[in-house]
């Protein structure tokens, strides 16, 4: 990319150092910054506006299916956390504890929620009496804390924002239906709004959530071929409702434990978005979640009438789009173009005296850098169509990459060679034993991503041990 | 109230035990419940939906004036908190500390934010370079923790939800303008949406925020005549920007410290709403923030066509209103009426076979319990007008109470007698000395609420010491 030096001097080359490119983008595109609290980030207005858009979309989709929002406490007494054995084992190493408050040492340590199954279960057990009270389907938007050793903005932060939905049901079937319904909603958010194709499937025993019967996942692929777990939905059966005594009188008058689910997506999706769509010019935000969909840059803005016309155009566009004018007088148009590209604004409009004379303006697409001169008469319609096309094009580019980076391996040699040369997903048959899963991990550094819903029979034998295969699994290295 | 026994047996009488009535309402109207974490509450769907409505209204008003949302860390290193002397003295006794995390003892304690002036100041100092970067006007919706000894749901909880806006400016004047602008927005939220008249003014030195130059407040009055601080806006001058080195190159090329503000409203507003509007039948929610504005109750719902017609009506109404049908088949219409009143739903509609025959339905206002029979033809228009009337009527009732419960005192005897017999606000002249403020508090248990913007000269002398008066102050007992 010959022009690179001109505008993004301080961003690492995406093909040379993807990890550094990523953090450079986070900082330079004004999404977030490091905070004084180690491992935590400060989400800045531009980054937070992406999250607000994702949140609004998700919240609406949740509510359409009957989910209601609540807010439950941040602090969990240590004894509550310990009620479900697998759960506490999974989370204990990552928990932060409050031990002093109000000038005194506490009798019982309080943990900051790493997730709230224990809190929801405790409250549900208090409220649930009869089958008539079911389902209870609550969700909260909040922050959680997990004391990670290695952190990376948005992808893995000690504190992060998410939503956690927790539901209880009368029957196993209904709970499983809700579990899978939420996975479909997550897939829709990521595919239809974030323009990233997902792989849907079930986690293996080893990779499932601590305390769950089954964990379902949507996985996305980064530009450099790493896998990202981007949303999970868990079926708990009665694993929590039994120790927490979440029981009800069923239709036959007998006491029964409820069937439970939980599911979450987080600000990690912003990381997925950056890693799926960015390039050497900077970020690329899909129009549907872009805080600014169109930015207008006046050319020769000191000339009479230019600023006036530009603001007129803004007024017309803002009826349908999130639009702003960059009328800074201390930087050049060239600087503004670069800034626009760095921030990943889907469409920029250039408008100067000659354009005005011709009743035109120039549209520049962020995805292709294509320049299109259009008449002002139908400008809203033109912009609408182009934004739709950008959204689709961004999805298709990722889809094509996904196909190119998904390979089949029938032997471990093939597995190793393919993942080393082309990164990405490896499809391979698996016997179902954790020993093979561990061996594959050791040898290739690839985790099982999931047992995809869409199964194929690549061969009859496990890629690792050669014994009879049970599933086709997708494997990949992860961030 | 003769009928009371029939429907709200388990709620304390509002005139006999207001405090118990309040917590009964919180629990029985399904707003919130106590959680296992002492001093914290679980906000249930119905209570949270009120907060979502308040949040949406406020967020829109903020953004219209240029405020942008962010999210900054929950945990603050202890050393940061200590940088501003008054601030740390004010908050230290209420802070909760994380001392262990990830299985290890931390080198430096981390406090859970009681408020985020220190975090915003640290980040602003990192980002601010030139006057061109100003103003920075950021806000976050989050939870904060203050280790209160005595708690009461919504009014004073160890953890609560709020928004905290923090802005920095080039000049003192601009910062002061923002401070006062936010107070006006808060006043509008409380008066125009929550239907509660407010008293606007400045806090005395004693009552102002720890670290502020000036604190401005809106105060509301409960039904039993207690004062509630319902929103505050602070002007900090350079009190934080100096120790935190939030400085910029000004237009003259010199280094200067920015001028700062902060402002907040919280879930306490739900407490204010309950205490301003409720009665012995339960909650009364102003239509503009009511999660359910209209609930339709079918009469003789087993009769042919009733449920169908009721759902038809719902479909028509939901174009304009938040409406639901109570079609439970295991409770009587009478139970449903009571439930509707307990939950404070502004308008209920009763509709049975005879009403359907006459092309009518019966509207029952929550504020007056008045029954109105209306034709179905213009039902949306009718409902719209009645909801508007309910909103206005609720405001006017509070306004009248405020007038009745605001009294003037020219001597301490008068002060004491009036506040003991009629509770509420006492207007009295004050010399400006904290000694008199303390004495008044000691003798009457009333705090200074504020120095109202609208000053009157009741006399020339301080109600307490008899020396020359400086201000008219409004005093009141508080929750």
Q: What angle do CA B281, B282, B287 make, to 5 degrees?
A: 110
CA A378, A381, A382, A383 torsion-angle sign: positive
Hey, what are A256's tokens?
Answer: 């029964």
> The domain containing residue A470 runs over which residues?
406-476
Cis peptide before A108 (omega within 30 of 0): no
**pLDDT above 60 for B4:** no
pLDDT higher than threshold 90 for residue B380 = yes
* A122 to chain B: closest CA residue: B36
Query: For chain B, how far is it from start to end, CA to CA, in angstroms?
Result: 26
The phi and psi torsions of A281 (rounded to 5 degrees) equal -85, -20
Find chain B residues with C-beta within 8 A of A126's C-beta: 33
Q: What residues of chain A lie within 8 A of the CB of B96, using their CB?
A: 75, 98, 100-102, 110
Distance of CA B275 to the CA centre of its chain: 11
pLDDT tens digit sequence for A246-305: 999 999 999 999 999 999 999 999 999 999 999 999 999 999 999 999 999 999 999 999
- Please state the ipTM of this predicted complex: 0.96
pLDDT in tens, B183-228: 999 999 999 999 999 999 999 999 999 999 999 999 999 999 999 9
Q: Closest to B93 (Cβ–Cβ): which among A102, A110, A138? A: A102
- Domain with residue A32: its CATH number is 3.30.930.10
Do A368 and A243 belong together in one domain?
no
Of the candidates B45, B70, B101, the beta carbon closest to that of A68 is on B45
User: Contacts of residue B40 in chain A, CB cutoff 8 Å?
Assistant: 73-75
Q: Are B317 and B64 in contact (CB under 8 A)?
A: no
Q: Are residues A169 and A29 in the same domain?
A: yes
Mean pLDDT of chain A: 96
Residue A320 tokens, joined:
């349908």
CA distance A44 to chain B (A): 5
- A301: CATH: 3.40.50.800
Based on the fold, state whether residues A110 and A196 are members of the same structural domain. Answer: yes
Q: How far apart are CA B325 and CA B330, in angstroms?
A: 14
Q: Is residue A363 part of a domain?
A: yes
CB contact under 8 A, A36 and B101: no
Are the Cβ atoms of A100 and B102 closer than 8 angstroms? Answer: no
pLDDT at B2 > cutoff 80: no
What is the model's pLDDT at position A7?
A: 53
Best mutation target among A27, A46, A71, A151 (most B Cβ atoms within 10 Å) is A71
Which tens digit of pLDDT belongs to each residue from A127-180?
999 999 999 999 999 999 999 999 999 999 999 999 999 999 999 999 999 999
Confidence at residue A118, expressed as pLDDT on a 0 to 100 scale: 96
Tell whether A282 is covered by a domain.
no
**Chain B residues in contact with A95 (beta carbon < 8 A):** 101-102
Lowest pLDDT segment from A3-7, B228-232, B391-395: A3-7
Which pLDDT score is estimated for B7?
52
Q: Is the pLDDT of residue A3 over 70?
A: no
pLDDT at B365 over 90: yes
Biggest alpha carbon–alpha carbon distance for chain A: 82
What's residue A297's pLDDT? 98
Q: Considering B277, B307, B327, which residue would you say is the last residue of a domain?
A: B277
Please name the residue that has the structure tokens 């309080």: A110
Residues B159 and B113 grouped into a single domain: yes
**Is B282 part of a structural domain of the chain?**
no
Report d(CA B41, CA B158) in Å as an integer: 9
CATH number, domain of B465, equals 3.30.110.30
Residues B224, B300, single domain; the answer is: no
Tell me if B14 is assigned to some domain. Answer: yes
> CB of B345 within 8 A of CB of B300?
no
B40, B45, B69 ranked by CB distance to A69: nearest: B45
In the predicted model, is pLDDT for residue A5 greater than 50?
no
B272 and B361 belong to one structural domain: no
Number of structural domains chain A divides into: 3
Q: Predicted confidence band at B85 (pLDDT cuts at 50, 70, 90)?
A: confident
Is A249 in the same domain as A332?
A: no
Can you read off the two tokens belonging to residue A174? 């209904």
| Banded pLDDT at B8 (limits 50, 70, 90) | low
Q: Which residues of B touch A112 (CB under 8 A)?
A: 74, 98, 112
Is B40 within 8 Å of A96 when comparing Cβ atoms? no
Q: Shortest CB distance from A37 goes to which of B35, B70, B75?
A: B75
> Which of residues B401, B420, B445 is at a domain's end?
B401
Cβ <8 Å between A112 and B103: no
Residue A309 has pLDDT above 50, yes or no: yes
Asked if A333 and A448 sit in the same domain, the reply is: no
Residue where a domain stops, chosen among A252, A277, A302 = A277
Whether pLDDT at B28 is above 90: yes
Do both A70 and A31 map to the same domain? yes
Statement: residue B1 has pLDDT above 60: no
Nearest to B69 among A48, A145, A149 (CB): A48
Nearest residue of chain A to residue B139 (CA atoms): A45
Closest CB to B98: pick one of A41, A92, A112. A112
Checking if the pLDDT of A4 tops 60, the result is no
Tokens standing for A13?
């080359």
User: For the residues B332-357, what does the mean pLDDT come to?
Assistant: 97
Q: A314: closest CA among A391, A374, A376?
A: A376
A273 and A154, same structural domain? Answer: yes
């Amino acid at each position: 990319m010959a022009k690179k030096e001109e505008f993004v001097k301080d961003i690492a080359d995406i093909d040379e150092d993807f990890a550094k490119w990523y953090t450079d983008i986070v900082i330079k595109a004004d999404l977030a910054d490091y905070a004084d609290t180690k491992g935590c980030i400060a989400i800045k207005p531009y980054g937070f506006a992406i999250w607000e858009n994702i949140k609004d979309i998700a919240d609406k989709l949740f509510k359409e299916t009957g989910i209601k929002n609540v807010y439950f406490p941040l602090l969990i007494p240590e004894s509550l956390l310990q009620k479900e054995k697998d759960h506490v084992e999974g989370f204990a190493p990552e928990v932060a504890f409050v031990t002093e408050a109000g000038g005194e040492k506490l009798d019982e340590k309080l943990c900051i929620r790493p997730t709230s199954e224990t809190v929801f279960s405790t409250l549900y057990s208090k409220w649930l009496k009869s089958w008539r009270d079911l389902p209870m389907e609550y969700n909260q938007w909040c922050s959680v804390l997990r004391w990670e050793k290695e952190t990376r903005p948005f992808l893995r932060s000690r504190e992060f924002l998410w939503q956690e939905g927790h539901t209880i049901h009368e029957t196993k079937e209904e709970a499983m239906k809700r579990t899978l319904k939420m996975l479909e909603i997550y897939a829709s958010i990521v595919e239809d709004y974030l323009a990233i194709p997902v792989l849907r499937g079930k986690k293996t025993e080893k990779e499932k959530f601590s305390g769950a019967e089954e964990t379902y996942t949507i996985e996305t692929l980064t530009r450099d071929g790493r896998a990202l777990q981007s949303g999970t939905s868990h079926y708990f059966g009665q694993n929590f409702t039994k120790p927490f005594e979440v029981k009800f009188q069923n239709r036959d008058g007998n006491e029964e434990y409820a069937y439970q689910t939980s599911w979450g997506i987080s600000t990690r999706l912003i990381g997925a978005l950056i890693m799926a769509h960015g390039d050497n010019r900077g970020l690329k935000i899909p129009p549907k979640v872009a805080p600014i969909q169109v930015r207008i840059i006046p050319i020769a803005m000191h000339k009479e009438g230019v600023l006036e016309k530009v603001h007129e155009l803004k007024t017309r566009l803002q009826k349908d789009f999130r639009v702003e004018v960059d009328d800074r007088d201390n930087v050049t148009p060239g600087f503004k173009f670069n800034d626009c590209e760095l921030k990943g604004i889907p469409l920029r409009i250039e408008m100067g005296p000659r354009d005005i004379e011709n009743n035109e303006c120039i549209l520049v697409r962020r995805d292709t850098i294509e320049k299109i001169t259009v008449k002002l008469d139908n400008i809203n319609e033109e912009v609408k169509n182009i934004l739709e096309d950008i959204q689709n094009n961004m999805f298709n580019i990722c889809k094509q990459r996904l196909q190119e980076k998904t390979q089949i391996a029938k032997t471990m040699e093939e597995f190793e060679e393919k993942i080393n040369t082309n990164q990405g997903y490896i499809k391979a048959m698996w016997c179902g034993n954790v020993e093979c899963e561990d061996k594959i991990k050791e040898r290739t550094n690839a985790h099982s991503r999931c047992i995809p819903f869409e199964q194929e029979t690549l061969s009859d034998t496990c890629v690792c041990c050669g014994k009879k295969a049970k599933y086709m699994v997708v494997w990949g290295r992860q961030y």
